[in-house]
Amino acid sequence: MMNKRQFLTNMGKAAFTLPFLPYSSVVKGGVPIKSYESKTEDGFWSRIREDYLLKPDYINLENGYYNFIPTPIMMKYIEHLKMVNYEASYYMRTVQWENKASVRDRLAKFVGGTPEELVITRNATESLDLIIGGYPWKKGDEAIYALQDYGSMKDHFELMVKKYSIKTTVVDVPNNPESDEELVAIYEKAITPKTKLMMVSHMINITGQILPIRKICDMAHKYGVEVLVDGAHCIGHFKVDIETLHCDYYGSSLHKWLSVPLGSGMLHVAKNKITKIWPLFTDWENDSDLIQRLNHTGTLPVHTDLAVNDALDYIEMIGIERKQKRLQFLQKYWSDKLRNVPNITVNTPVEIQRSCGIANVGIPSMDAKELAAQLLSEFRIFTVGVDYANVKGCRITPNVYTTTDELDSFVIAMKTIAKRS
């Protein structure tokens, strides 16, 4: 029988640090999981699909809200949950922080940052709001964000208007820009001598458009304006190297495209900006140079933090460039078939560098929510309707398990609805 010391060794610190790979040796109920090796690319992605327990009621094309986790990560997550429950306070008072630091270190390397500039949070909203709410605003300061940005952060900026008497300027990002220079100019024109901070979406959540972040950051810094980047849909979706973006702050969710269990995000703060941000909750760590002081939220589900390590194993097994290429292929597969169809509008740029897995499509004469409802009720395709800013259509977010046959069904459904509308 395994004694406690053996259990602590196998399930505690050591269990966490052991790699998730090689996948051919991972055990599921005593049976080795089938190898991921394949002679063809289609064969590889078919094998990946086997890792997902898919609900048979519908084709799921709404992976943007929460990107549910594949079975191998789920298995490890449950192991972490059992281990933390078994060790309880012992775990929390001994190796909790060391394990979290190890996860942070590995995550920082994956996103192109440094451990000293990164903390693990609960989601992108928390990460970005830590900066918006903790920024040292003064009366008369100005901030910039876009009409297409996520509502929670826009609301927080407007709260700062009421709290500190700052002013916000809202820019409008076109769905199909002519060039990077056009996008940079939109933000540049909004800058005044009083502008302190601008928020820019790395990928606009309602359309999937990827913005030229480095060019926008370099422009803003010429005016002394800091840049907060909303990367909620980026980490684990396509390759991100935060250092090369030249941004001051970067927030993302990890339970979206990285496939960490619900309740995981990250915040990156440039080292020379850490001291100026006020924490929203006080922490025992009072050193103003340490980013950890921005991240005190009480007792958290630490087993979720541990699962970040397993999600990184999984995506490194796939390869982030390989995943990016697959998601771009899936998006282009369906969107290119609908771009020139009468009565259908694709609200996402056609250029490959301006999008990845997410795109938006609509029928001008139809309410977006009604379109989503018809897709589900008549064609058993689940997505989400968006009628927001300059966007009217359904956000389509396939995942690595999505097949071209499923996307063919979606294309047929859209053409059918468009023809009769």
Residue 290 confidence (pLDDT): 84
- Of 187, 131, 141, which is closest to residue 161 (Cα–Cα)? 141
- Between CA 2 and CA 269 the distance in angstroms is 44
Which portions of the chain are predicted below pLDDT 50? 1-31
Using DSSP's 3-state secondary structure scheme, residue 282 falls into coil
Looking at the domain covering 98-312, what would its CATH class be? Answer: alpha beta
pLDDT digits (tens, 9 = 90+) for 365-384: 999 999 999 999 999 999 99
Whether the Cβ atoms of residue 118 and residue 291 lie closer than 8 Å to each other: yes
pTM check: above 0.75: yes
Using DSSP's 3-state secondary structure scheme, residue 92 falls into helix
Q: What kind of architecture, by CATH, is found in domain 320-420?
A: Alpha-Beta Complex (3.90)
Domain boundaries, the chain: 98-312, 320-420
Residue 283 confidence (pLDDT): 66
Peptide bond into 301 cis (omega under 30): no
Residue 284 confidence (pLDDT): 66
Which residues make Cβ contacts (< 8 Å) with residue 6, sequence separation at least 6? none
Which tokens is 15 given? 């269990």
- Of 17, 20, 14, 16, which is closest to residue 315 (Cα–Cα)? 20
SS3 for 397-417, per residue? Answer: ECCCCCCHHHHHHHHHHHHHH
Q: Count of CB atoms within 10 A of residue 351's CB?
A: 12
Which tokens is 126 given? 């928390």
Residue 292 confidence (pLDDT): 83
Strand 249-253 relative to strand 226-230: parallel, antiparallel, unpaired?
parallel
Whether the Cβ atoms of residue 64 and residue 205 lie closer than 8 Å to each other: yes
207 φ/ψ sector (left φ>0, alpha ψ -120 to 50, else beta): alpha
Which tokens is 169 given? 């300027």
CA distances (Å), 242 to each of 47, 155, 248, 373, in order?
A: 31, 26, 9, 38
- Between CA 230 and CA 235 the distance in angstroms is 11
Which DSSP helix (H) or strand (E) runs through 247? none
- Between CA 310 and CA 35 the distance in angstroms is 17
Which residues make Cβ contacts (< 8 Å) with residue 242, sequence separation at least 6? 111, 112, 113, 250, 268
Residue 67 confidence (pLDDT): 86
Residue type, 308: V
Which tokens is 410 given? 């979606």
Q: Count of CB atoms within 10 A of residue 75's CB?
A: 17
Binning the chain into helix, strand and coil, the percentages to the nearest 5 are 45, 15, 40
Residue 299 confidence (pLDDT): 85
pLDDT digits (tens, 9 = 90+) for 175-197: 999 999 999 999 999 999 999 99
Residue 295 confidence (pLDDT): 79
Whether the Cβ atoms of residue 170 and residue 157 lie closer than 8 Å to each other: no
Q: Please state at what angle helix 4-11 crosses helix 71-87, rounded to 10 degrees.
A: 140
Which tokens is 52 given? 């997902």
Q: What is the DSSP letter of 7?
A: H
Fold agreement between 98-312 and 320-420? no
